[in-house]
Chains A and B, each alone.
Chain A
Amino acid sequence: MPSSGLLVFLLVLHANLKFSLSLGVSERIWNYNYTRYHPMDEISSWMDSVEEQNPKLVTSLVYGQTFEKRDIKLLKFGLPDPGGLEKKAVWVDCGIHAREWIAPAFCQWFVKEILQSYNESDVRLTKFLQKIDLYVTPVLNVDGYMFSWTNQSTRLWRKSRSLPPQGCGCHGVDLNRNFNANWGTVGVSTDCCSNTYCGVSPASEPEAKAVTDFVGTRVEQFLCYLTIHSSGQLILLPYGHPQITAPNYEELVSVGKAAASEMKKLYGMEYRVGTSPQILYANSGSSRDWARLLGIPFSYTFELRDKGEFGHLLPEDQIKPACEEAYVGVTSILSYVYDKNFPNDKLPTAAATACVHATGLIVMTTLATLLVTLGSV
């Protein structure tokens, strides 16, 4: 009967509009809780399901092993380039320091946003991924991260979990002092018990070596290198050494400031932008510096929330706003990098994309309504 058909139509329309227009789309795609911290085994399972469910978009890659012989795994997002050209690449890693739990939480959030946009046929994302492969490592320092989950007394562990070197009694190396970038010169300790212990030699640690080998053998492809940390609300540009300046310093500052400005629009949070020796402290052997030295033009460290009130123990109810902020900051940089490298094929603006979606929705529902109405006449 026409009236029951109409009733079903209205119910289905209501449900679909509600889902499509609400931010709950991600929950519909996934039942994974992105606003809680997850232990490593849950993150690994989640990575498996991301890959399984999106075979045309995602592949995972094990690119090394930690000291304790665990896989270091990334998710590679990419689409075939219609022109068949060689792809460029962007690197994002999280969790190089074990206790900075908001960083892996951000990588998981970032992946969710990519999948959500992909499922909505977001034109900007499609264009981006056709030209640029996105390599995301949700947890780089797997051993350290797992150790920080052991019990309350290990929560604030920072380093890897390598065995003590000869003549010294403590575990672990500060992986972000171990890269081959002015290694061992400033902002480090040679005491293995120190939290800024830089290791026995550059890239001596398997975690640092894994990144060095993977990115190092593909360096011409990489346009951008982002490493995610907490806390402090900072966007750090190379170099950590106070007397060395990156050749594109001015551009790095302006792109960083644009990102910080986007981040501030969300919740009013200030992110300071500058080199580490300017706004934080001098340091050497960081992955960000190594990437810039290699020639990767845009290399940044993000220090996410907060400014010391909770520090590394950021409450779970701040995961969503912290990740939303970080997301707009990261995408601001990625959009700039894309437009700079593909100036003849720039990304459409976000407003234009939303307009297209809204128009499509209106057209389709009008047609559906007409069809039902005509059918019931």
Chain B
Amino acid sequence: MSPALMRVLWVVVLLSAVRGAPLGTVTPPPVILEPVPSVPVPSEPVRVDSGADQNISIPIHTEQQQQQQQQQQVALDVDVMLTGELNPNHYPARRAAQVVLHHLNTRYGSPYWWGALRQVHKATAEALGDSGRKYSLEVTLQDQISGTKETCTAEVVFPGGPAGGPPQVTTSYEGKSEINTQAQEEALYNQYNTSQNLLSGHNLPDSYGHVAPGMEPFWHLGGVASSFVMLKESSENTLYNMAQVVSVTQLATENNQLRFNYDVLLHEMVSQEIIHWKLLASWSPQEGVKASQMELLPKCHHCEPPQEH
């Protein structure tokens, strides 16, 4: 073998040691793209106690736990309503803060401004007798598009009594700080304020979390319009977010408002349900966003597509 080749071989051998493979060289595995039929690998037998009775409680560690096993079902609702200073990281403050968010989105939201809750700084709750309960909060919101943050104080009243009704919100918020979305809003409005090529879209975001760049403003608009629904549906026992725009279809402009039929899926955290709403959203840079004709679509139990086996 030539001396040069010998030297090269030495170098290669030494440098492969540098990679530190403990058991010799690492062989890159082949790329497997076709599905391989899955063969159960023989393993240590899973010992199943055939005498196991699922109704026997697991041995529990404290007396407290023993008592709980015998207690009746605890209601899903908050059954101990806290008053006074609340932990801002705990759910009662968080749920009330989310209501503030929905309220602010209905007032200030647009295709280029869509708030999210960033932080709850302080929260207190007060019982108002028959009138319900009032939360006082200090929160920070963040615009999901520009990232700018706004802090404000707010009050949320969840009405009492059998009729219930939507929460009432007031805030110290006075309007967005200087991220100027006006130019973008005007451009979008002018682009779509024609009867040619009415916009339509589906699945924003799609299954992979993707929204096409041109559709992003209509995803934001869907989120803002959904806030009208989420606000009126909220209580101390709910936490709503919009999960997806199933479809958006533009209608002819009326009274200088762009109009869109929206089909949206809302995620309600406490029940973990996906709730289907239709609504009509109208928008212009001057008037902001309005939602009307809000309609709950029933959960379709028998609409599941055929399964693949």
**A residues in contact (CB < 8 Å) with B:** 1-2, 4-5, 8-9, 12-13, 16, 20, 28-32, 36-37, 41-42, 44-46, 48-49, 51-53, 56, 59-64, 68, 71, 73, 119-121, 146-147, 149-156, 158, 161, 169-171, 174, 180-182, 184-187, 189, 193-196, 201-204, 213-214, 217, 232, 241-245, 247, 270, 272, 274, 278-282, 290, 293-295, 307-316, 318, 357, 360-361, 364-365, 367-368, 371-372, 375-376
Residue of B10, B40, B116 near A71 (CB, 8 A) is B40
In the complex, what distance in Å separates the CA atom of A225 from the CA atom of B6?
53
In the complex, what distance in Å separates the CA atom of A187 from the CA atom of B75?
8
Residue of B46, B47, B205 near A310 (CB, 8 A) is B205
- Say yes or no: is B85 at the interface (Cβ < 8 Å to chain A): no
Residue contact A279 to B90, C-beta cutoff 8 Å: yes
Chain A residues closer than 8 Å to B68, beta-carbon distance: 182, 185, 241, 243-244
**A16-B18, A119-B21, A309-B116 as given contacts; A314 in contact with B27, CB under 8 Å:** no
**A4-B4, A44-B38, A45-B32 as given contacts; A181 in contact with B11, CB under 8 Å:** no
A-B contact count (CB 8 A): 255
A150 to chain B, nearest CB (A): 6
Residue contact B3 to A278, C-beta cutoff 8 Å: no
Residue contact A120 to B76, C-beta cutoff 8 Å: no
B76 to chain A, nearest CB (A): 6
| A interface footprint on B109-139 (CB within 8 Å = 1, 0 otherwise) | 0000000110100000000000000000000
Stretch in contact with the other chain, from B174-182, B183-191, B269-277, B285-293: B269-277
In the complex, what distance in Å separates the CA atom of A12 from the CA atom of B144?
47
17 contacts between A and B (CB under 8 A): A1-B4, A9-B11, A62-B41, A152-B202, A171-B304, A180-B57, A185-B71, A186-B76, A195-B273, A204-B54, A214-B46, A281-B91, A293-B65, A313-B206, A313-B244, A364-B15, A364-B18
Residue contact A5 to B8, C-beta cutoff 8 Å: yes
Residue contact B20 to A360, C-beta cutoff 8 Å: yes
Residue contact A49 to B43, C-beta cutoff 8 Å: no
Residue contact B40 to A62, C-beta cutoff 8 Å: yes
Residue contact A247 to B43, C-beta cutoff 8 Å: no
Chain A residues closer than 8 Å to B15, beta-carbon distance: 12-13, 16, 364-365, 368
**Size class of B's contact patch?**
35 or more
B165 to chain A, nearest CB (A): 23
Residue contact B205 to A59, C-beta cutoff 8 Å: no
Residue of A42, A156, A217, A294 near B35 (CB, 8 A) is A42
In this complex, what residue of B is CB-closest to A294? B58
- Say yes or no: is B60 at the interface (Cβ < 8 Å to chain A): yes
Q: A195-B273, A241-B74 are in contact. List 12 more A-B contacts (CB 8 A).
A: A4-B4, A71-B40, A161-B307, A169-B302, A186-B74, A204-B54, A241-B68, A244-B64, A281-B91, A281-B269, A311-B267, A376-B7
In this complex, what residue of B is CB-closest to A168? B301
Chain A residues closer than 8 Å to B61, beta-carbon distance: 247, 293, 295
